[in-house]
Chain A
């Protein structure tokens, strides 16, 4: 029994945390369980969730992307700033930029053999620089009525962002479980050498996942633009990518790759959202949010270390 519990916790770290949070909420915050508040949590975190989906793909391959945050900022500015050239251009260009940056990242990591940390670290500055070059430090306000209405759209009383997040989550989980690319992702993340020997095109899988990650960051940027209907060059700096990585790690997806799922990511997104909501609703000053999330992340990692059967250090330098 004890063994089973430990096994369960070591595989699904996020479940006990979520249950604990829900229990605390039930005891202390009476208004937490109103449908409005629950939808609100999802609404606030769905765009980050979309980005976390992409990050999960990449993390399953064994890499991390530090540029996701500033890339999102770049895409918000592009979306709003290009609206004078038409709605289609303003949506397609940021997405293309995102895919291109993902391709570049993947190429530099796989073909040139540079550490993904360095590549995405450099891309983080690159995206930030591009944002400022494009905007010249200006903020933009959206001018297209239809785009703004899209941001306010509700289907069955649920915001369009939540729908997009949910649909993407289901599609991604389907890809991971049923499609060849998803299976290959797990294989490459688990052990690239073995995967290569088994005839999997490691490079292709890696580059596609970099593209997926940056693409979802760009999509997050477009959605964020729709939500705000405005842009500021400083969006996404300095620690948005950290939030997304935190969400993914908190869910239980292993940093070393090869282990995790979209349900974990959903759990991570919800955990982060619920903590923020809990702190806001309980009247604790908002600046405790970050600290508490940081502590929980450390705690999760400690628990992970304690219950993990093999206590080898996870290789950090993919």
Chain B
């Protein structure tokens, strides 16, 4: 009997360990819906989705960068910069050029970050931290500290991306869903995705087996730049305005979601879908604490506890020190 050892409790434990995130998400949703009547209403769930999709779009790219074994702490500052670039260009010409300029700016910054990290072998945490400072200054230079609004009547259509709904679901949720699917397929089914994982797992070994680790890192950062630009487009469209500190702190939330999702900070393994779960978890917590009447700052304590709990249980289940 080959299956004799696989007793039911054991199988159950494996499932629980493998899907711990999904299960804890369900538990949290259950608790919130018991404590608050309004939590599980369709309207609230849609509003959670709407809130998370801006961070979510960013997290698609961040998953790539982290899978390749690096970090990005400048994503939040980049979001502010791209929002302001979009708003500035959109007011001066039209939103189409605004979007193009935004994506170009995002990918350019990604290129610079990638070059510094990939080719010059700098510690990504410190480089992107320094870049964040530079980007914040550039944002202030672009805006002059002012609040930019897109107010011309012929530009109203731009609001479709962030304010309208299709079949009752906000447009940005569709954008996020499409990006998750595409990025997940690229990560799991294409040579490029394989290279990203391989470089994250062991950059030296990848180089010896013919993978250009430097180019891969640059591409990962450029993808992140693209994703940040996409979420900046949605963000700008949602408010039809841009503010110079709009992205402050979003990089931390994104990073939390990716960590909770189970993408190893050491690199080598990652999944955009799991980051999606992390993002939803964050959104549910943020929303739930408010719905059950607790002040919003509980989410930070919860965030702290959850990060430690998730990573610790992950380590314990693997029974080895993944990160020293």
Contact = CB atoms under 8 A, between A and B. Distances in A.
Given A119-B308, A293-B133, A297-B130, A302 B123 contact: no
B266 interface: yes
A171 B38 CA distance: 58
A184 B122 CA distance: 27
A294 B134 contact: yes
A244 B137 CA distance: 19
Chain A contact residues: over half helix, strand or loop, or mixed?
helix
Nearest to B312: A112
B84 interface: no
B209 to A, nearest CB: 18
Interface string A297-318: 1100110010000011110111
A137 B298 CA distance: 12
Contact-size category for A: 35 or more
Given A113-B323, A125-B301, A129-B300, A297 B126 contact: yes
Contacts of A292: 137
Contacts of A129: 297-304
A290 B265 contact: no
B206 to A, nearest CB: 13
Contacts of A172: none
B300 A126 contact: yes
B137 A294 contact: yes
Interface in A34-65: 64
Contact of A126 (B73, B132, B265, B301): B301
A311 B120 CA distance: 9
A237 B71 CA distance: 20
B48 to A, nearest CB: 20
A114 to B, nearest CB: 5
B28 interface: no
B137 A255 contact: no
Contact of A121 (B129, B255, B295): B255
B295 A132 contact: yes
A27 B89 CA distance: 40
Given A288-B137, A311-B121, A245 B126 contact: yes
A178 interface: no
B138 interface: yes
A255 B126 contact: yes
Contact of B124 (A238, A285, A290, A316): A316
Contacts of B145: 287
Given A305-B122, A311-B121, A314-B123, A287 B255 contact: no
Interface of B: 70-71, 73, 116, 120-127, 129-134, 136-138, 140-141, 145, 203, 248-249, 252, 255-256, 259, 265-266, 295, 297-305, 307-308, 311-312, 315, 321-324
20 contacts: A112-B312, A129-B298, A129-B300, A129-B304, A133-B298, A136-B295, A137-B295, A238-B252, A239-B132, A245-B126, A245-B129, A246-B133, A287-B136, A287-B140, A294-B132, A295-B134, A297-B129, A298-B127, A301-B120, A316-B71
